Amino acid sequence: MKRYSAAIFDLDGTLLDTLGDLCGAVNTALAAQGLPPITEEQTRERVGNGIRNLILRSLPEGAGDAAADQCLAVFRAHYEQHLHDRTRPYEGIPALLRALREQGIKVAVLSNKYDPASKRLIAHFFPGLVSLTLGERPGVPRKPDPTAVLEALEALGEQASDTLYIGDSGVDMQTAKNAGLDSAGVTWGFRSREVLVKNGAGVLIDHPSQLLRYFVQPETLADAFTGRGFGFSYFQTAKEAVDYLKGVCRGKQAGFGGSMTLEGLGLYDALREGGEVQWHWRGDAPSTAPEVFLTSANALALTGEVVNIDGNCNRAAASMYGSEAVYFVCGVNKLAPNLTSAVSRARNIAAPRNAQRLGKHTPCAADGKCHDCRSPERICRALVVLLAPSNGVKHTEIVLVGEELGY
Protein backbone atom coordinates (compact mmCIF):
# COMPACT_ATOMS: atom_id res chain seq x y z
CA MET A 1 0.00 0.00 0.00
CA LYS A 2 1.35 3.40 -0.98
CA ARG A 3 2.09 5.85 1.83
CA TYR A 4 2.28 9.62 1.60
CA SER A 5 4.34 12.23 3.41
CA ALA A 6 1.87 15.09 2.91
CA ALA A 7 -1.89 15.70 2.77
CA ILE A 8 -3.90 18.51 1.19
CA PHE A 9 -7.46 18.76 2.56
CA ASP A 10 -10.49 20.60 1.29
CA LEU A 11 -12.22 22.60 4.05
CA ASP A 12 -16.05 22.81 3.77
CA GLY A 13 -17.61 19.35 3.81
CA THR A 14 -14.27 17.65 4.47
CA LEU A 15 -12.86 19.04 7.71
CA LEU A 16 -15.76 21.22 8.83
CA ASP A 17 -19.54 21.04 8.55
CA THR A 18 -20.16 24.69 7.66
CA LEU A 19 -23.64 24.40 6.14
CA GLY A 20 -25.52 26.09 8.99
CA ASP A 21 -23.41 29.24 9.02
CA LEU A 22 -23.17 29.43 5.22
CA CYS A 23 -26.94 29.11 4.90
CA GLY A 24 -27.50 31.76 7.58
CA ALA A 25 -25.22 34.24 5.82
CA VAL A 26 -26.84 33.62 2.43
CA ASN A 27 -30.31 34.12 3.87
CA THR A 28 -29.27 37.37 5.57
CA ALA A 29 -28.03 38.61 2.19
CA LEU A 30 -31.22 37.49 0.42
CA ALA A 31 -33.42 39.10 3.07
CA ALA A 32 -31.65 42.41 2.49
CA GLN A 33 -32.87 42.16 -1.13
CA GLY A 34 -36.39 41.21 -0.08
CA LEU A 35 -35.91 37.67 -1.39
CA PRO A 36 -37.08 34.39 0.19
CA PRO A 37 -34.60 32.23 2.12
CA ILE A 38 -33.00 29.01 0.93
CA THR A 39 -32.67 25.76 2.88
CA GLU A 40 -29.52 24.05 4.14
CA GLU A 41 -30.07 21.33 1.57
CA GLN A 42 -30.13 23.94 -1.20
CA THR A 43 -26.95 25.41 0.27
CA ARG A 44 -25.37 21.96 0.18
CA GLU A 45 -26.16 21.63 -3.52
CA ARG A 46 -24.81 25.08 -4.43
CA VAL A 47 -21.64 25.37 -2.37
CA GLY A 48 -18.17 24.43 -3.62
CA ASN A 49 -17.15 26.92 -6.32
CA GLY A 50 -16.60 30.02 -4.20
CA ILE A 51 -18.91 32.33 -2.28
CA ARG A 52 -19.85 34.48 -5.27
CA ASN A 53 -21.08 31.44 -7.16
CA LEU A 54 -23.05 30.35 -4.08
CA ILE A 55 -24.73 33.78 -4.09
CA LEU A 56 -25.40 33.70 -7.84
CA ARG A 57 -26.98 30.24 -7.57
CA SER A 58 -29.23 31.50 -4.76
CA LEU A 59 -30.48 34.61 -6.55
CA PRO A 60 -33.36 34.57 -9.03
CA GLU A 61 -32.29 33.90 -12.60
CA GLY A 62 -31.14 37.06 -14.33
CA ALA A 63 -30.61 39.03 -11.10
CA GLY A 64 -27.41 40.51 -12.51
CA ASP A 65 -24.00 41.46 -11.17
CA ALA A 66 -25.19 44.47 -9.18
CA ALA A 67 -27.53 42.36 -7.07
CA ALA A 68 -24.80 39.73 -6.66
CA ASP A 69 -22.32 42.38 -5.50
CA GLN A 70 -24.77 43.76 -2.94
CA CYS A 71 -25.58 40.28 -1.63
CA LEU A 72 -21.91 39.35 -1.47
CA ALA A 73 -21.13 42.40 0.65
CA VAL A 74 -23.94 41.60 3.10
CA PHE A 75 -22.94 37.93 3.15
CA ARG A 76 -19.34 38.69 4.09
CA ALA A 77 -20.28 41.22 6.75
CA HIS A 78 -22.64 38.71 8.37
CA TYR A 79 -20.35 35.71 7.93
CA GLU A 80 -17.40 37.51 9.51
CA GLN A 81 -19.48 37.94 12.67
CA HIS A 82 -20.98 34.42 12.65
CA LEU A 83 -18.16 32.36 11.19
CA HIS A 84 -18.42 29.47 13.63
CA ASP A 85 -21.77 29.82 15.38
CA ARG A 86 -22.94 26.44 14.09
CA THR A 87 -19.86 25.19 12.27
CA ARG A 88 -18.24 22.10 13.77
CA PRO A 89 -15.46 19.65 12.85
CA TYR A 90 -16.68 16.30 11.61
CA GLU A 91 -16.33 13.53 14.16
CA GLY A 92 -12.82 12.08 14.12
CA ILE A 93 -11.20 14.97 12.23
CA PRO A 94 -9.36 16.62 15.17
CA ALA A 95 -7.94 13.25 16.27
CA LEU A 96 -6.87 12.50 12.69
CA LEU A 97 -5.07 15.83 12.31
CA ARG A 98 -3.31 15.38 15.66
CA ALA A 99 -2.21 11.90 14.63
CA LEU A 100 -0.87 13.19 11.30
CA ARG A 101 1.09 15.90 13.09
CA GLU A 102 2.56 13.34 15.50
CA GLN A 103 3.54 11.15 12.53
CA GLY A 104 5.38 14.06 10.93
CA ILE A 105 2.94 14.38 8.02
CA LYS A 106 2.75 17.83 6.42
CA VAL A 107 -0.84 19.10 6.18
CA ALA A 108 -2.25 21.88 4.03
CA VAL A 109 -5.83 23.09 3.53
CA LEU A 110 -7.01 24.38 0.17
CA SER A 111 -10.45 25.96 -0.13
CA ASN A 112 -12.59 27.93 -2.54
CA LYS A 113 -13.86 29.87 0.48
CA TYR A 114 -12.29 33.33 0.58
CA ASP A 115 -8.87 33.31 2.17
CA PRO A 116 -9.37 35.31 5.42
CA ALA A 117 -12.37 33.19 6.45
CA SER A 118 -10.53 29.97 5.63
CA LYS A 119 -7.55 30.97 7.76
CA ARG A 120 -9.74 32.07 10.68
CA LEU A 121 -11.65 28.81 10.71
CA ILE A 122 -8.48 26.70 10.69
CA ALA A 123 -6.91 28.82 13.43
CA HIS A 124 -10.07 28.51 15.54
CA PHE A 125 -10.74 24.79 15.17
CA PHE A 126 -7.32 23.30 14.47
CA PRO A 127 -4.63 25.50 16.04
CA GLY A 128 -1.14 24.16 15.39
CA LEU A 129 -2.38 21.22 13.31
CA VAL A 130 -2.22 22.69 9.79
CA SER A 131 1.00 23.94 8.19
CA LEU A 132 -0.58 25.98 5.41
CA THR A 133 -4.07 27.32 4.60
CA LEU A 134 -4.92 28.77 1.20
CA GLY A 135 -8.36 30.12 0.34
CA GLU A 136 -9.77 32.05 -2.61
CA ARG A 137 -7.55 35.04 -3.41
CA PRO A 138 -7.52 37.70 -6.14
CA GLY A 139 -5.46 36.66 -9.15
CA VAL A 140 -5.43 32.95 -8.24
CA PRO A 141 -7.86 30.70 -10.15
CA ARG A 142 -10.27 28.67 -8.03
CA LYS A 143 -10.29 24.89 -7.87
CA PRO A 144 -10.35 22.74 -9.99
CA ASP A 145 -7.54 24.81 -11.48
CA PRO A 146 -4.30 23.29 -10.11
CA THR A 147 -2.48 26.59 -9.49
CA ALA A 148 -3.14 26.73 -5.73
CA VAL A 149 -2.26 23.05 -5.31
CA LEU A 150 1.10 23.58 -6.97
CA GLU A 151 1.65 26.62 -4.73
CA ALA A 152 0.90 24.50 -1.68
CA LEU A 153 3.29 21.75 -2.78
CA GLU A 154 6.10 24.26 -3.23
CA ALA A 155 5.43 25.80 0.18
CA LEU A 156 5.39 22.37 1.85
CA GLY A 157 8.49 21.22 0.00
CA GLU A 158 6.67 18.12 -1.24
CA GLN A 159 6.20 16.32 -4.54
CA ALA A 160 2.82 15.59 -6.11
CA SER A 161 3.62 11.86 -6.06
CA ASP A 162 4.07 11.95 -2.26
CA THR A 163 0.90 13.94 -1.50
CA LEU A 164 -2.70 12.77 -1.12
CA TYR A 165 -5.52 15.18 -1.94
CA ILE A 166 -8.62 14.70 0.26
CA GLY A 167 -12.00 16.26 -0.45
CA ASP A 168 -15.75 15.74 -0.60
CA SER A 169 -16.74 17.00 -4.04
CA GLY A 170 -16.32 16.47 -7.75
CA VAL A 171 -14.43 19.74 -7.87
CA ASP A 172 -11.91 18.31 -5.41
CA MET A 173 -11.43 15.12 -7.38
CA GLN A 174 -10.93 17.15 -10.56
CA THR A 175 -8.45 19.41 -8.75
CA ALA A 176 -6.35 16.42 -7.70
CA LYS A 177 -6.36 15.03 -11.23
CA ASN A 178 -5.40 18.39 -12.75
CA ALA A 179 -2.48 18.72 -10.32
CA GLY A 180 -1.28 15.13 -10.74
CA LEU A 181 -2.16 14.03 -7.19
CA ASP A 182 -3.82 10.85 -5.97
CA SER A 183 -7.24 11.56 -4.48
CA ALA A 184 -9.42 10.33 -1.64
CA GLY A 185 -13.12 11.20 -1.63
CA VAL A 186 -14.77 11.47 1.79
CA THR A 187 -18.40 10.37 1.99
CA TRP A 188 -19.52 12.41 5.03
CA GLY A 189 -19.50 15.75 3.20
CA PHE A 190 -21.66 17.68 0.77
CA ARG A 191 -21.63 15.32 -2.22
CA SER A 192 -22.64 11.71 -2.82
CA ARG A 193 -20.45 8.67 -3.36
CA GLU A 194 -21.70 8.58 -6.95
CA VAL A 195 -20.45 12.12 -7.61
CA LEU A 196 -17.04 11.28 -6.16
CA VAL A 197 -16.69 8.12 -8.23
CA LYS A 198 -17.90 9.85 -11.39
CA ASN A 199 -15.23 12.52 -10.95
CA GLY A 200 -12.39 10.04 -10.49
CA ALA A 201 -11.94 9.54 -6.74
CA GLY A 202 -9.00 7.20 -6.23
CA VAL A 203 -10.50 5.77 -3.03
CA LEU A 204 -13.62 6.43 -0.96
CA ILE A 205 -13.28 7.13 2.77
CA ASP A 206 -16.22 6.61 5.13
CA HIS A 207 -14.54 7.66 8.39
CA PRO A 208 -11.52 9.91 9.05
CA SER A 209 -9.56 7.13 10.78
CA GLN A 210 -9.52 5.21 7.48
CA LEU A 211 -7.06 7.77 6.13
CA LEU A 212 -4.39 6.73 8.62
CA ARG A 213 -3.36 3.68 6.59
CA TYR A 214 -2.06 5.98 3.84
CA PHE A 215 0.30 7.87 6.14
CA VAL A 216 1.42 5.69 9.06
CA GLN A 217 4.69 3.81 8.70
CA PRO A 218 4.88 0.27 10.16
CA GLU A 219 8.04 1.25 12.02
CA THR A 220 6.12 3.88 13.95
CA LEU A 221 3.45 1.38 14.93
CA ALA A 222 6.09 -1.11 15.99
CA ASP A 223 7.52 1.46 18.38
CA ALA A 224 4.08 2.19 19.86
CA PHE A 225 3.25 -1.46 20.57
CA THR A 226 6.67 -2.80 21.50
CA GLY A 227 7.04 0.16 23.84
CA ARG A 228 4.09 -1.27 25.79
CA GLY A 229 5.53 -4.79 25.76
CA PHE A 230 3.62 -6.28 22.82
CA GLY A 231 5.31 -8.16 20.03
CA PHE A 232 4.71 -6.63 16.62
CA SER A 233 4.91 -7.96 13.06
CA TYR A 234 3.87 -6.29 9.83
CA PHE A 235 3.11 -7.99 6.53
CA GLN A 236 2.22 -6.23 3.31
CA THR A 237 -0.11 -9.00 2.16
CA ALA A 238 -2.53 -11.45 3.76
CA LYS A 239 -0.63 -14.39 2.24
CA GLU A 240 2.58 -13.33 3.98
CA ALA A 241 0.73 -13.09 7.29
CA VAL A 242 -0.83 -16.53 6.86
CA ASP A 243 2.55 -18.08 6.06
CA TYR A 244 4.02 -16.49 9.18
CA LEU A 245 1.21 -17.72 11.42
CA LYS A 246 1.43 -21.23 9.97
CA GLY A 247 5.01 -21.28 11.15
CA VAL A 248 4.10 -19.91 14.57
CA CYS A 249 1.42 -22.57 15.09
CA ARG A 250 3.24 -25.54 13.60
CA GLY A 251 3.11 -28.50 15.99
CA LYS A 252 1.00 -26.62 18.55
CA GLN A 253 -2.64 -26.60 19.56
CA ALA A 254 -4.29 -23.47 18.16
CA GLY A 255 -7.56 -21.94 19.26
CA PHE A 256 -9.58 -19.30 17.42
CA GLY A 257 -11.66 -16.42 18.73
CA GLY A 258 -14.63 -15.37 16.61
CA SER A 259 -13.23 -13.13 13.88
CA MET A 260 -14.24 -12.09 10.39
CA THR A 261 -10.58 -11.21 9.83
CA LEU A 262 -9.45 -14.79 10.47
CA GLU A 263 -12.37 -16.08 8.40
CA GLY A 264 -11.32 -13.88 5.51
CA LEU A 265 -7.71 -15.04 5.75
CA GLY A 266 -8.72 -18.70 5.47
CA LEU A 267 -6.39 -19.34 8.39
CA TYR A 268 -8.43 -22.12 9.99
CA ASP A 269 -8.22 -24.35 6.94
CA ALA A 270 -4.57 -23.49 6.44
CA LEU A 271 -3.67 -24.54 10.00
CA ARG A 272 -5.75 -27.73 9.99
CA GLU A 273 -3.37 -29.18 7.44
CA GLY A 274 -0.57 -29.42 9.97
CA GLY A 275 -1.91 -29.32 13.51
CA GLU A 276 -4.74 -29.35 16.02
CA VAL A 277 -7.16 -26.46 15.63
CA GLN A 278 -10.28 -25.51 17.59
CA TRP A 279 -12.86 -22.96 16.50
CA HIS A 280 -16.46 -22.87 17.68
CA TRP A 281 -17.41 -21.15 14.42
CA ARG A 282 -16.62 -24.46 12.71
CA GLY A 283 -18.41 -26.64 15.24
CA ASP A 284 -15.51 -27.16 17.64
CA ALA A 285 -15.80 -26.55 21.35
CA PRO A 286 -14.83 -22.99 22.38
CA SER A 287 -11.14 -22.94 23.18
CA THR A 288 -10.07 -20.98 26.27
CA ALA A 289 -6.58 -22.32 26.97
CA PRO A 290 -4.80 -23.52 23.81
CA GLU A 291 -1.05 -23.19 23.35
CA VAL A 292 -1.64 -20.47 20.77
CA PHE A 293 -4.76 -18.32 20.64
CA LEU A 294 -5.57 -16.43 17.43
CA THR A 295 -8.04 -13.59 17.27
CA SER A 296 -8.41 -10.06 15.95
CA ALA A 297 -9.13 -6.67 17.49
CA ASN A 298 -11.89 -4.17 16.83
CA ALA A 299 -9.35 -1.35 16.91
CA LEU A 300 -5.64 -0.66 17.29
CA ALA A 301 -4.70 2.76 18.63
CA LEU A 302 -1.59 4.45 17.24
CA THR A 303 -0.71 5.03 20.89
CA GLY A 304 -0.34 1.26 21.39
CA GLU A 305 -3.62 0.06 22.94
CA VAL A 306 -5.74 -2.88 21.75
CA VAL A 307 -9.54 -2.57 21.93
CA ASN A 308 -12.13 -5.34 21.69
CA ILE A 309 -15.87 -5.68 22.27
CA ASP A 310 -17.26 -9.13 23.03
CA GLY A 311 -20.63 -10.75 23.66
CA ASN A 312 -20.03 -14.25 25.03
CA CYS A 313 -16.63 -13.03 26.27
CA ASN A 314 -14.82 -16.29 25.47
CA ARG A 315 -12.73 -14.41 22.92
CA ALA A 316 -11.89 -11.61 25.37
CA ALA A 317 -11.11 -14.05 28.17
CA ALA A 318 -8.84 -16.26 26.08
CA SER A 319 -6.94 -13.24 24.79
CA MET A 320 -5.97 -12.29 28.35
CA TYR A 321 -5.44 -15.54 30.25
CA GLY A 322 -4.56 -19.20 29.85
CA SER A 323 -2.69 -19.44 26.56
CA GLU A 324 1.07 -19.45 26.14
CA ALA A 325 0.82 -17.01 23.23
CA VAL A 326 -1.87 -14.72 21.80
CA TYR A 327 -1.80 -13.19 18.32
CA PHE A 328 -4.08 -10.28 17.36
CA VAL A 329 -4.33 -10.37 13.56
CA CYS A 330 -5.62 -7.08 12.10
CA GLY A 331 -5.93 -5.28 8.80
CA VAL A 332 -4.89 -1.64 8.48
CA ASN A 333 -8.57 -0.64 8.54
CA LYS A 334 -8.49 -1.29 12.31
CA LEU A 335 -6.11 1.62 13.00
CA ALA A 336 -7.36 4.56 15.07
CA PRO A 337 -5.51 7.76 16.06
CA ASN A 338 -5.72 7.26 19.84
CA LEU A 339 -7.47 5.27 22.55
CA THR A 340 -10.64 7.40 22.50
CA SER A 341 -10.92 6.98 18.73
CA ALA A 342 -10.20 3.25 19.03
CA VAL A 343 -13.06 2.78 21.50
CA SER A 344 -15.30 4.82 19.21
CA ARG A 345 -14.32 2.63 16.26
CA ALA A 346 -15.13 -0.54 18.20
CA ARG A 347 -18.53 0.80 19.26
CA ASN A 348 -19.61 2.64 16.13
CA ILE A 349 -18.06 0.64 13.29
CA ALA A 350 -17.20 -2.91 14.34
CA ALA A 351 -20.08 -3.62 16.72
CA PRO A 352 -22.92 -2.37 14.46
CA ARG A 353 -21.56 -4.30 11.47
CA ASN A 354 -21.33 -7.47 13.52
CA ALA A 355 -24.84 -6.94 14.86
CA GLN A 356 -26.08 -6.61 11.28
CA ARG A 357 -24.14 -9.71 10.23
CA LEU A 358 -25.68 -11.73 13.05
CA GLY A 359 -29.20 -10.48 12.32
CA LYS A 360 -29.61 -8.84 15.73
CA HIS A 361 -32.59 -6.57 16.39
CA THR A 362 -30.63 -3.79 18.05
CA PRO A 363 -30.64 -0.02 17.46
CA CYS A 364 -27.08 -0.16 16.12
CA ALA A 365 -28.04 -2.79 13.54
CA ALA A 366 -30.73 -0.42 12.29
CA ASP A 367 -28.72 2.80 11.97
CA GLY A 368 -25.06 1.80 12.34
CA LYS A 369 -24.44 3.81 15.52
CA CYS A 370 -23.90 2.71 19.11
CA HIS A 371 -26.73 3.63 21.49
CA ASP A 372 -25.39 1.81 24.57
CA CYS A 373 -28.76 0.10 24.41
CA ARG A 374 -30.45 -2.22 26.88
CA SER A 375 -31.57 -4.64 24.20
CA PRO A 376 -31.45 -8.32 25.23
CA GLU A 377 -29.85 -8.97 21.82
CA ARG A 378 -26.95 -6.57 22.27
CA ILE A 379 -23.57 -8.10 21.47
CA CYS A 380 -21.59 -5.47 23.38
CA ARG A 381 -21.28 -7.25 26.74
CA ALA A 382 -17.65 -6.46 27.48
CA LEU A 383 -15.35 -3.66 26.35
CA VAL A 384 -11.74 -4.74 26.84
CA VAL A 385 -8.76 -2.41 26.52
CA LEU A 386 -5.30 -3.94 26.68
CA LEU A 387 -2.94 -1.20 27.80
CA ALA A 388 -0.14 -3.77 27.86
CA PRO A 389 0.07 -7.55 27.50
CA SER A 390 -1.67 -9.55 30.21
CA ASN A 391 0.56 -11.14 32.85
CA GLY A 392 -1.47 -14.30 32.24
CA VAL A 393 0.02 -14.74 28.74
CA LYS A 394 3.71 -15.34 28.02
CA HIS A 395 3.71 -13.69 24.60
CA THR A 396 1.16 -11.29 23.06
CA GLU A 397 1.78 -10.07 19.53
CA ILE A 398 0.11 -7.71 17.07
CA VAL A 399 0.17 -9.04 13.50
CA LEU A 400 -0.73 -6.13 11.21
CA VAL A 401 -1.56 -6.75 7.55
CA GLY A 402 -1.36 -4.00 4.94
CA GLU A 403 -4.83 -4.83 3.59
CA GLU A 404 -8.40 -4.20 4.72
CA LEU A 405 -9.63 -7.19 6.73
CA GLY A 406 -12.78 -7.79 8.77
CA TYR A 407 -14.82 -5.09 10.46
- DSSP assignment of 249-268 equals HTTS-EEE---HHHHHHTHH
Mean pLDDT across the stretch 127-148?
A: 96
CATH 3.30.465.10 is the classification of domain 218-401: no
Residue scoring higher pLDDT (261 or 66): 261
Question: Is the confidence at residue 62, as pLDDT, over 80?
Answer: no
Question: Is the confidence at residue 147, as pLDDT, over 90?
Answer: yes
State residue 286's pLDDT score: 65
Report pLDDT digits (tens) over 155-194.
Answer: 999 999 999 999 999 999 999 999 999 999 999 999 999 9
Instruction: State how far the Cα of 176 lies from the Cα of 188, in Å rounded to an integer.
Output: 19
Confidence of residue 204 (pLDDT cuts 50, 70, 90): very high
Phi, then psi, of 85 in degrees rounded to 5: -65, -45
Question: Is the confidence at residue 53, as pLDDT, over 70?
Answer: yes
Q: How many CB atoms lie within 10 A of CB 239?
A: 13
Q: Which of 199-208, 276-285, 388-397 has the lowest mean pLDDT?
A: 276-285
Peptide bond into 144 cis (omega under 30): yes
Instruction: State how far the Cα of 377 lies from the Cα of 237, in Å rounded to an integer.
Output: 36
Q: How many CB atoms lie within 10 A of CB 339?
A: 18
Confidence of residue 287 (pLDDT cuts 50, 70, 90): low
Domain 6-15+87-214 shares a fold with domain 218-401: yes
- 6-15+87-214 topology per CATH: Rossmann fold (3.40.50)
Residue-range domain boundaries for the chain? 6-15+87-214, 19-81, 218-401
DSSP state of 403: S
% of the chain at pLDDT higher than 90? 82
Instruction: Determine if the pTM surpasses 0.75.
Output: yes
State residue 143's pLDDT score: 96
State residue 174's pLDDT score: 98
State residue 276's pLDDT score: 83
Residue scoring higher pLDDT (284 or 314): 314
Report pLDDT digits (tens) over 77-109.
Answer: 999 999 999 999 999 999 999 999 999 999 999
State residue 66's pLDDT score: 85
Residue 284 is a catalytic residue: no
Find, among 287, 301, 300, 317, the residue nearest to 381 by Cα: 317
Q: How many CB atoms lie within 10 A of CB 314?
A: 16
Which residue among the candidates 10, 12, 168, 172 is catalytic per the annotation? 10
Confidence of residue 324 (pLDDT cuts 50, 70, 90): very high
Mean pLDDT across the stretch 381-386?
A: 96
Report pLDDT digits (tens) over 343-366.
Answer: 999 999 999 999 999 999 999 999
Report pLDDT digits (tens) over 298-320.
Answer: 999 999 999 999 998 988 999 99
Average pLDDT, the chain: 93
